[in-house]
Amino acid sequence: MNELIGSAVFWVLSLLIIGTALGVVMSKNLVHSALLLTACFIGVGMLYITLEADFLGAVEFMTYSGGVAVLIVMGVMLTHKGEGIPSNPFNGRELLAAALAVIFAAVMGLVLNFVQLPASDGFSSADTVGDLADMMLNTYILPFEIAAVLLLAALLGAIILAKGDGEA
């Protein structure tokens, strides 16, 4: 019975994610697209939680749903001009997009059919956050710190480029 409930939750979340992702692409209103993107991020976070990836679920909620999506919504709402031409107009390439989607689905189906995936031993850690923290702060501390310095350098470079020449 537990497996049946888990499968039902997975399929409901999958339909929610696919539906909101299609809504992002198909909506002609940019504000609606941004709100649907937030709903899609929340669905993905819930899917991570159901797959017992607590850390990834928390990061998905905080980073994407809480930060990026809210920033997008606020930016769109502050710069939205009100009435006028649609902010997300269609470009008339729906047939090409549908054909490419079908080709992509066929290729992915062939890959899944012919590639042998390694069997899992079923290992699942009870403390995923603790294990990740141990790996990041003990085993992989040097690559973690190098990534932090590179991100800081990129942030400083973006600030310098955004500031312009004549500004203080």
Tens-place pLDDT, residues 16-47: 999 999 998 888 877 788 888 889 999 999 99
Q: Which among 52, 80, 108 is the end of a domain?
A: 80
Mean pLDDT of 154-163: 78
| Residue 119 lies inside a defined structural domain of this protein | no
For residue 156, give its domain range: 126-163
Model confidence pLDDT, tens digit, residues 48-101: 999 888 888 888 888 887 777 777 777 776 665 655 565 556 677 778 888 999
Predicted local confidence at residue 26, as pLDDT: 85
| Residue 152 lies inside a defined structural domain of this protein | yes
State whether 75 and 130 are in the same domain. no
| Residue 18 lies inside a defined structural domain of this protein | yes
**Whether the predicted pLDDT of 10 surpasses 80:** yes
State whether 3 and 76 are in the same domain. yes
Q: Which residues contact 132 (CB under 8 A, 6 or more apart)?
A: 55
Residue 86's Cα: distance from chain center in Å? 25
| Residue 118 lies inside a defined structural domain of this protein | no
Predicted local confidence at residue 95, as pLDDT: 85
Count how many domains the chain has. Answer: 2
Q: Are 126 and 54 in contact (CB under 8 A)?
A: no
State whether 63 and 3 are in the same domain. yes
| Residue 142 lies inside a defined structural domain of this protein | yes
Question: What is the pTM assigned to this prediction?
Answer: 0.60
Q: What is the CATH number of the domain that holds 11?
A: 1.20.120.1200
Rounded Cα gap, residues 54 and 130, in angstroms: 11
Predicted local confidence at residue 83, as pLDDT: 59
| Residue 86 lies inside a defined structural domain of this protein | no
Predicted local confidence at residue 158, as pLDDT: 77
| Residue 157 lies inside a defined structural domain of this protein | yes
| Residue 68 lies inside a defined structural domain of this protein | yes
Tokens 């902010």, residue located: 87
Query: Max alpha carbon distance in the chain (Å)?
Result: 68
